[in-house]
Amino acid sequence: MVIRIQARSNDDGTIFLERGHPGILSCPLVASGRIPLDQIEVMYWYFPRVRDEDILISYFLGNIAPQNGIPEGVYNINGNFSLVIENVTDSDEGTYFCRIKPKLEVMVDGHVTKRVRVSPKEPFPDVTQCTERISESACEAELPSDIKKPRLTCIVRDTKPAVALRWLLEYSDGDTQLISDRFTVKPSAYSVNTFTTSASIPVIASYVDTMYRCQAYGDALGARNGSHVTVTAFYTLQTPREPGY
């Protein structure tokens, strides 16, 4: 007899791990506290199915060993009985299964879904018209006054999965007003299997300083979901030429 329990790391049960870095997948049977650590006698981690030929690594009465010809160091099982992946790659995406035999109990199964994340490089979001970066979340954009229809373009490059963008007006009291939540996603040109998101808006034709906020959100941002940059946009005043010039 085998009992099955599904992981719930977030709303859809998915864990995101950063590509090119070590990653850890917790077994829901242990993370939930259902099975105490000191009661585990045997454990197997499987991918992508629960079959003998898909065992990645095993734990048996204190001994940890890779299985099916997998070299040492590719996977490990830590002190919390989580699966340690030494180098996360795109091919690692999918559902992982943990099977545990507690003392004096039947074998129990759990599973967790893993997706690969590629975080954007700093700074982000980036507004291409910014002429000076004031801080991590603020910049200035000096716009030539001879351009009839100036625009601001916000970009977040090379992420996986793609992020979403929205533009807001930002007022001096901190309030904001949504301008646009439309954006374009394209495959990145220089980073494999990543995406670049951009969003463009027209600038209000006024010589009064105006603040715009570009906000980015999505799983690729991790703890920095909702990051933004406030752009103070102003026009370059053209000095009238004297007669004869």
What's the Rg (C-alpha) of the chain? Answer: 26
Instruction: Find out whether 100 and 46 touch, Cβ atoms under 8 Å.
Output: no
Inform me whether the pLDDT recorded for 8 exceeds 80: no
Q: What is the pLDDT of residues 155-177, one digit of tens each?
A: 999 999 999 999 999 988 888 99
Q: How confident is the model at residue 6 (pLDDT cuts 50, 70, 90)?
A: very low
Residue 27 backbone phi and psi in degrees, to 5: -80, 125
Q: What is the pLDDT of residues 84-140, one digit of tens each?
A: 999 999 999 999 999 999 998 999 999 999 999 999 988 899 999 998 889 989 999
Instruction: Find out whether 82 and 25 touch, Cβ atoms under 8 Å.
Output: yes
| pLDDT in the model for residue 5 | 31
Residue spans per domain, the chain: 2-117, 126-236
Instruction: Find out whether 220 and 161 touch, Cβ atoms under 8 Å.
Output: yes
| pLDDT in the model for residue 143 | 82
Q: What is the pLDDT of residues 41-86, one digit of tens each?
A: 999 999 999 999 999 999 999 999 999 999 999 999 999 999 999 9
Equal fold, 2-117 vs 126-236: yes
| pLDDT in the model for residue 2 | 38
Secondary-structure class of domain 2-117 per CATH: mainly beta
- Rounded-to-integer distance, Cα 230 and Cα 225, Å: 16
- Rounded-to-integer distance, Cα 164 and Cα 160, Å: 11
Determine whether domain 126-236 maps to CATH 2.60.40.10: yes
- Would you list the DSSP string of the chain? -EEEEE--SSTTSEEEEETTS-EEE--HHHHTTSS-GGGEEEEEEESSSSSGGGEEEEEETTEEEE-TTPPTTSEEE-TTSPEEESS--GGG-EEEEEEEEETTS-EEEEEEEEEEEBPPPSS-SEETT-SEEEETTEEEEEEETT-SS-EEEEEEEEEBS--EEEEEEE-TTS-EEEEE---EEEE-SSSTT-EEEEEEEEPP--SS-EEEEEEEESGGGGGGTT-EEEEEEEEEPPPPPPTT-
